[in-house]
Structure 1
Amino acid sequence: MTGQAMFSSDRYVTSGVREKVPVELQLMLWSIIEARKERGDKLDYLQVFELSTEMVDDEPLQKVLNRQEQPFHEEVFYVNMIGLPLDGVTVWIMDSGEYCTLLLPEEY
């Protein structure tokens, strides 16, 4: 790892994520990382995002559970999607030190 701040390198998205996750939601995942950096959270190199649907006031909302192992962190975000929310999808954002990648676990 270089001396630069975590998740500050060039960003890439895999073809699997491009096919499965709407670009608006991809941008939201990156913005969650940015918000956590801004508030001073210590970030693990692997950020896990579990996407599910939750009904709120009879409307489907995109639920995003962001978690990491070291140090342990778990936080839930809700996104009002224009289209149908994704359910049962997990995506990772990994920082290799040289670049950051948004990928599906099966693409690792």
Structure 2
Amino acid sequence: METRKLFSSDRYVTRGVHEVVPFELQLLLWSILEKRQVRGEQLDYLQVFELSAEWVDGEPVQKVVNRQEQPFQQEVFYVDHIENLAIGVTVWIIDSGEYSTAILPEEY
């Protein structure tokens, strides 16, 4: 029996994520997971994304910290040219086996 790759099924976004995370940033979070799979990394069913901003050369830059528990991994991404930054937001992307959902922790 063929094993399914995590985060490869239907994808959903909760109302909370839709309201506080700009669409282009939502796409980036899913893209990060795709790139990690292409690199051959073992992904946990729960991916945590912490969104904040840092100032670089006088300009705000979106900072995205992606981490997981099993096996523990953490990677930091910086993205410029994001029109609306998400600051102080944590997003969980959870693979349930049937579908994947981007959700705010307080919606769980």
After TM superposition, the structure 1 = structure 2 runs for residues 1-108 of structure 1, keeping only pairs within 5 Å, are 3-108=3-108
Provide the identity percentage. Answer: 68
Q: How many equivalent pairs are there?
A: 107
CA deviations 1:36-80 (Å, max 9, x no partner) are: 000000000000000001001110000000000000000000111
Q: Any idea what SS the aligned residue of 2:26 has? A: helix
Following superposition, which runs of at least 4 residues in structure 1 exceed 3 angstroms of deviation? none
Partners of 2:32 and 2:53 lie apart in 1 by 18
Give unpaired runs (5+ residues) of structure 1.
none
TM-score by length of 1: 0.95
CA RMSD of aligned residues (A): 1.2
Q: Any idea what SS the aligned residue of 2:93 has? A: strand
Partners of 2:81 and 2:70 lie apart in 1 by 30
Partners of 2:105 and 2:22 lie apart in 1 by 17
TM-score by length of 2: 0.95
Give unpaired runs (5+ residues) of structure 2.
none
